Structure formats: structure tokens, C-alpha cells
A and B are shown apart, each in its own frame.
Chain A
């Protein structure tokens, strides 16, 4: 049975984001349950999480963040560890059905009520613009601090292998963002995303010739053209793999010749 998470409606989300810009993150007080003021739940379709459930989720997230340096240390490797462990956690342990996790307003609640401190640690304010709203407010699943991690895990979830989240570590943040940015086409087909990541991870020619990242990006552009007229969802894993390899081989050849 699915768990229904609280949602922050857009009005409340933008109000809280303004507060965040002025006052910094205001996480739930120690010992208090995350506030459900302003929060709404889906009318039907599952079991509402309780205050203690939310406290537990917050604790789990803080624990994972702390293991990666939260709240004081910020490092590229810390962030990468955080992304991987939280992606697994959100997708595997929170009991959200994909429909619920795709609700932007759920992520607004996470970003602005449940763990604003972690989001602010992961994406600190920059000097000119302060905090970036799409890291806190759930407007774009590929941009939200936690929503993007859920999406990443969901796309890469590989049922039937030893560790179904094994592919999460295969790509760095920047590379994964390249894929996530193509949501309407490439990333709309999880099976294709998995083949792209697998091929990148397992490329025997990695490290020689053109930069791995350039091969990935260039091949993505090739796949983008194909996605305009192929029904990628009806292809078998093997067919997808050969599409991806074909694109990578072509890209590698072209890049090598330059």
C-alpha cells in the first residue's frame, strides 16, 4: 500500500521559499515533529504518513547527509556519496508510489519543511541570487535537490539483478544531469537510460582516446535524433543496447578523427 506524503501547495511553497531567502533554512525544531501546517495530502489512494514517520524520514536523511559532511563540510565526494545513498533511500525505503513521487508539491514539502537544512547544505546560496528556488520548491523534478535523486533511482532501478541500484554510482552528477535534462525523450524511457549508463560504465575503451564524457554527450545527441521517430519503449534490452553502442561507436570514431 502506498504512503501518502504531505504536499505544500504552490502558494505556501513560494511563501516559505521567500522566508528561506531571508532567514535561511528553518528545519523542524529538535524534538518536534515536522510541521503539517499548510500541508495537504492526496484525498485518497494510500495511507497518510504520520508525524513520527516524517520524523524518521528526516532522521534517516540527516544521518545520510551527516555521513557525507553535513552540516559543515562540503566536498564533491561528499555530495556524490550523499546523492547515491539518498537516491537509494528515497526510492527504496520511503514507500512512495511513482505517481506520488512525481508530485512536485511533495518535494516542496521535503525541501521547505522536512529537510531545508540539508537542501541548503547540498545547494548553498550563491552570492548573487541566494538560494535557487528550484532546488527547494518542487517545480522541476530534475532540479529539485531530492526529487532529482528519486528520479535518478527510479530511472536506473534495475530489477532482477543483485543490487537493483547498482547503476546509480556509474555516472557522476554532471553526466547524469545531461541525461535527466532530456526528459521528454531519452529519460522518458528508463530502459534506455539504463543501457546508456551500462554502456558508459562498461566501455572497454574508457580512458583512451576522446574523453569519456565527450563520448557520452555526443552519443546522447545521436540518440536524441533517433528518439524523434523510434518507439524506444517497445525495443528489447538487447536492441536498446545495440542502439546505444552504435551511437557510442560512431561518436567515438568521429571524435577520434578530430
Chain B
């Protein structure tokens, strides 16, 4: 058995036109390839089979090989409506030698089972075929499904330059047997032919009077084999949607000027789009994960992810932190409700440069690249809803990658706020508390981003006018809290250090050379204060005197009375301390002795007195050495 085309007529009670269906998706803010990746992956994720750990999601861009070209032409021409190409553009496309297609396959998914005609009742679990192939706009019935609208599949038709896709699916029927189905579907423009109006929806399959049935099982498999499209291995289930003549215009140039991307570039773009939109589902270690793959003419293309892209790795790190204590709670105060969790990862030097990231608003300058300054919004399905930019960090190389994930119990609320393309949260679509929740989450996120970027205020650069005197005039306001330590040089540690050095070598020199200025002379004065205390006192300053044995230093000393006194002399070093560790072979000064008032000389450093008297201490000086001379009461 083989198939042929079936054209849908308007029924007496009306019907939706092909144009109407095509327009349902609206005009997405994102580029078509990005939307295709997001919507098709979401469809696949929502369709994951019970118990499957991994959903394989593969896009394959290829050209129909010469061996298969005849099969494509003969099979898909069968029963083709006799209408002009404007309303059925597949006809001229089939004559092309380079017939391209993009197949989107998921495995580990349920496949499209259930009734094949919409006038038969089917319960919730059995509507996959109906909702994917026939109906549109009906609510999802999948727990944690990515969207509340059934528009996801519309993008496949938009993505085909000829409005035509081929659907091949395998599922388990109620008896547990593996079944396959194949159907073509075309959606372009309504028209009138032979006075009869047609909706513009066509199916290629087993045409009936009032609808079209798919080819099934062996017949379906045979057609797919003949067309050379991806098939099923072993007991795999899932769906492959093949987009004929995919519309892959360069999204970085205006639509009017855009050219079809060469296959390698298109594949690169789609691979990047998978990485940037699907990374949360693709993370290793998830309980159930999506495994995205991109193949161009049989060759795999790497998908950017946690392992090979620094920016995605940063978002992933933030995502992983959500459930740890580092995850911040985003709460609404009135009514009190936990709305979402938030986490952020700082980035340094990580920059995005891909066109797909640019499409998501992550990068403006594709040549230089850009550090991320975004929060990735997500909810229960953990697909990227959107990257919302925050203020850039002040340094080019610094960025931040944040993730905001809505709490599961608010998933429906936030889902409702999304437009059909699931790329924003719009509270005007909601009412009452639900609107508040969306608004509060958005505002708190914005505040956080401002904070993270350091953009609470504009970057403020202080001028160079001295303002200290003004600060001082107003300083009394701080009286309660500004003990020393808050001024520029305040802390006690510094004051201590200051006082040490302020009294450094200079003032220690005391009654030294020239007596110094007003601040010198502390040594002599300190001595004066001790007058009569029983200690020896140095009178005046030492001076150099030439003598037979060379130059000596003489210092007058007043001895207070009976007792033994000892003199010592040391080298002073630049830090004002006495030298403790002279250089090798250093000459050190020495005490020569004492000369009494009557001129007798006593050698050695000690002297005895019976009564108060004045003596002269003789010291042997050293070239290039400042000296410290002291006299003390000798230890008994």
C-alpha cells in the first residue's frame, strides 16, 4: 500500500484555514531556527516515555541523495492537487536536484499513538496523534509540560519553505505492541478549486472520503526506507518530523536581505541554539536528561554545553547552586509566598560569541564577544524561558550568570504569563495575586541584578577637590560612633606606629649635635628632671678633643655622691637603635676612662665617688659612627 495526497475541504460549519493555523504562532521575537529548536525540543521533552532516563533529541540536516530522489518525486507527487505553486509550493520543490530536509527526531519518547480521527473520543493519554497531527490549540495534558498551548508543532510548518513536513512515529499500543505510523502534512494557503473552497491543509497518507489515515507498520516503514529518512532501532519509540526545504535564513541580517545559510553554518547555528536553549535539560547527572545532537550530512556537530563553553558552564554552576544553601529565596511578602529560587555565578573572561546566543540577547558584539550579564529564567520543565539582561558589570571581562527558577507550585501561573513562544513572563495576561507574583518575581530579580552588577547607582567617580574641611565640619554628627579609627588615618594601630616614629632617631639624638631645634634635647631635659635622684647626670654635650693618642670625645659628668658608676658607649644605627650586630671587622668605640676635677686619669669604664663631684668621661670615637654615651649606677 502506498499513499497519496488528501486536500481538506471546508465543512458546512466552517473550519480553520492554513493561514489561520500558521499565524497562531504569532511573530516570535526570536529567530525561526531558535524557535524551532526550543519548540521541537519542548515537544520531545514533554513526550518522554515512562521510565526512559534519556531523551535523544537529534536534528539532521541533509540533502536527498541521488538514490532516493526518484522515490521522493514519485511518492510525494501521487495525488498532488492540481493547483498553482503559490498555494502548493511543494510541487516545484520536488523538481529541484538539491532537495534539502531537516529531520527532528526524538527517541525515548512515547510516539504518537491514539485515535487517528478527531471525531472519535479519546481520553487524555491517547491524544498524542490527534493533538500533534490534527488538532491545534488544545491544552497540554502532560505533567510538567513545557507549554499550555499546542502551538509547538506549528513551527515545523513555518520552518519549511514549502509548508510541508513528514511525520514518522513509533509507539506502543495498549497491548504493548510496537506500531509505526507515517503521514505527510502540508499547510500553506487556502484556495478554491473547481468552485470548491479548500482550507489549504493537506495530508499525504491513506486518503479517505473525509479524512486521511496514516500509513501504518510495514507500509510506513517501507516508505521511510525508500525516502532514506531516520528509522527506529530495536524497540525504540519516538517521532521523527522531517521538514522539507527547511527555511534557514541567516538570522543576523534583516529578513529581506537574508540568504539561506550554507549547511555547515546552519548546522552550527542549530547546534548553538540547542546548547543555549536546552543546556539545563542536558546537564550530566540529571535524573532524566535530554541528549541533544546535531548532524550535518552525516557528520556530527558539537553542541555547546557545560563542558566546552565557559558561559554555559557559569549558568550551569548557578543552576546547580539553586538547591543548595547558596540558592537565594525570592519571596513575596504580601501574600507571603516562596516564588522562586535564585543563584548567581560570577564570570571572568568568559564571553559569548555565537549567533544563537546573540539571538537570545546574550551578546551584541559578535566580533569581540560579551561577558554575560543575564539571568536565565526557567520553570518546571527547566527549559530556558528567556535570558533577561541586567546591567553590565563595570569591567569588560567581568560578568555574571544568574538563574531564576520558579517554584513548582507556581509553574502554572508563570506558564500562563508566557506568550505562545514561551519566551517571556507578562503579568498583564494575569490577574490578582497571580499578576502580583509574576511582578514581584520580576522586580526582585531586577533589584538583585542591579545589586550584583554594582549598578544601584551609576558608577560615581569622585573628583579631586579636597573635601576634608567640609567632612571635618560635619564630622560632629558622627560623635556617637566615630572613635579614632574612622578617620583617614585613625585606627589605634596607626597612632601607635606614628608615635614611635615621631620620636625616632631625630629626637632621641637629644642633646646631640647643635642641640637640635625646639623638639630636640629630650635626653638632657630628662636628666634634669632627675636632679638629685642619686643618678649621674651628663652635663652639656660631648665634644671632640685632639690629644696625643688621637682624637677623643670628652663628656662632662656630674656624679651625685657616694657610689660606683659605669660608663658605656655604643654605635647608633640609622633606626635610632644601638647597634647589636656590627659588620664583619667593625671597629667599635670604647670608654678610655675618667678624668677627675684635678686632672688625674682613671682608666676603665667604672668610677667610684665619695661625694658629689664633676668628672670628665673620655671615649675613643670611631670614624663614620654615631655614638651613644651613657653613664649609670653600677650594679652592686
B380 at the A interface (CB under 8 A): no
Instruction: For B494, give the chain A residue with the smallest CB separation.
Output: A104
B26 at the A interface (CB under 8 A): no
Complex CA gap A29/B493 in Å reads 29
Contact status of A184 and B454, CB under 8 A, knowing A103-B494, A254-B585: no
The answer, among A40, A139, A184, A218, for a CB contact under 8 Å with B501, is A184
Query: In A30-47, which residues have CB < 8 Å from any B CB?
Result: 30-31, 33, 40, 42-47
Complex CA gap A48/B394 in Å reads 14
Q: Are A50 and B574 in contact (CB under 8 A)?
A: no
Contact status of A228 and B572, CB under 8 A, knowing A50-B394, A52-B395, A254-B584: yes
Instruction: For A219, give the chain B residue with the smallest CB separation.
Output: B583
Q: Most chain-B CB neighbours within 10 Å: which of A44, A138, A185?
A: A44
Q: Most chain-B CB neighbours within 10 Å: which of A45, A139, A258?
A: A45
Q: Min CB distance, A93 to chain B, in Å? A: 12
Contact status of A45 and B491, CB under 8 A, knowing A52-B398, A185-B574, A228-B626: no
Instruction: For A214, give the chain B residue with the smallest CB separation.
Output: B584
Q: Are A185 and B464 in contact (CB under 8 A)?
A: no
Can you name 29 A-B residue pairings with CB atoms under 8 Å?
A9-B486, A10-B492, A10-B493, A30-B345, A31-B321, A31-B343, A33-B454, A43-B468, A45-B488, A55-B346, A59-B398, A103-B489, A105-B494, A138-B493, A182-B575, A184-B504, A184-B574, A186-B574, A218-B584, A221-B586, A224-B574, A224-B575, A225-B574, A225-B579, A225-B583, A225-B625, A227-B573, A227-B574, A228-B505
Instruction: For B348, give the chain A residue with the smallest CB separation.
Output: A59
Q: Are A31 and B326 in contact (CB under 8 A)?
A: yes
Q: Are B493 and A44 in contact (CB under 8 A)?
A: no
* A interface size (C-beta, 8 A): 50
A132 at the B interface (CB under 8 A): no
Contacts of B14 in A (CB 8 A): none
Q: Are A50 and B459 in contact (CB under 8 A)?
A: yes
B177 at the A interface (CB under 8 A): no
* Contacts A47-B461, A185-B505, A185-B573 supplied; 8 other A-B pairs, CB < 8 Å: A30-B345, A31-B321, A47-B462, A53-B395, A218-B583, A222-B583, A224-B574, A224-B575
Complex CA gap A103/B485 in Å reads 11
Complex CA gap A139/B495 in Å reads 11
Contact status of A251 and B583, CB under 8 A, knowing A1-B464, A40-B486, A184-B504: yes
Contacts of B492 in A (CB 8 A): 10
Q: Are B574 and A42 in contact (CB under 8 A)?
A: no
Complex CA gap A63/B501 in Å reads 37
Contact status of A52 and B394, CB under 8 A, knowing A43-B486, A225-B573, A229-B626: yes
Q: Are A184 and B505 in contact (CB under 8 A)?
A: yes
The answer, among A42, A185, A258, for a CB contact under 8 Å with B584, is A258
Contact status of A31 and B459, CB under 8 A, knowing A10-B485, A184-B505: no
B593 at the A interface (CB under 8 A): no
Q: Min CB distance, A5 to chain B, in Å? A: 12
Contacts of B579 in A (CB 8 A): 221, 224-225
B463 at the A interface (CB under 8 A): yes
The answer, among B346, B464, B624, for a CB contact under 8 Å with A226, is B624
B460 at the A interface (CB under 8 A): yes
A51 at the B interface (CB under 8 A): yes
Complex CA gap A52/B348 in Å reads 11
Complex CA gap A55/B345 in Å reads 12
Q: Are B487 and A43 in contact (CB under 8 A)?
A: yes
Contacts of A139 in B (CB 8 A): 493
Contacts of B317 in A (CB 8 A): 30-31
Query: In B311-370, which residues have CB < 8 Å from any A CB?
Result: 317-318, 321, 326, 343-346, 348
Complex CA gap A33/B346 in Å reads 9
Contact status of A226 and B487, CB under 8 A, knowing A1-B461, A44-B471, A56-B398: no
Complex CA gap A42/B585 in Å reads 50
Instruction: For B459, give the chain A residue with the smallest CB separation.
Output: A50
B393 at the A interface (CB under 8 A): yes
Instruction: For A226, give the chain B residue with the smallest CB separation.
Output: B624
Contacts of B228 in A (CB 8 A): none
Complex CA gap A197/B7 in Å reads 92
6 smallest beta-carbon distances between A and B, as pairs: A227-B574, A185-B574, A184-B575, A221-B583, A228-B626, A52-B454
Contacts of B318 in A (CB 8 A): 31
Q: Are B491 and A10 in contact (CB under 8 A)?
A: yes
Interface readout for B601-628 with A: 1 if CB under 8 Å, 0 if not? 0000000000000000000000011100
Q: Are A53 and B394 in contact (CB under 8 A)?
A: yes
Contacts of A67 in B (CB 8 A): none
Complex CA gap A228/B512 in Å reads 12
Q: Are B462 and A46 in contact (CB under 8 A)?
A: yes
Contacts of B491 in A (CB 8 A): 7, 9-10, 103-105
Contacts of B466 in A (CB 8 A): 44
Contacts of A254 in B (CB 8 A): 583-585
Q: Are B574 and A51 in contact (CB under 8 A)?
A: no
Q: Are A9 and B485 in contact (CB under 8 A)?
A: yes
Contact status of A184 and B576, CB under 8 A, knowing A1-B461, A50-B459, A225-B625: yes
A235 at the B interface (CB under 8 A): no
Q: Min CB distance, A99 to chain B, in Å? A: 8
Contact status of A44 and B467, CB under 8 A, knowing A55-B398, A184-B501: yes
Interface readout for B462-488 with A: 1 if CB under 8 Å, 0 if not? 111011100100010000000001111
B582 at the A interface (CB under 8 A): yes
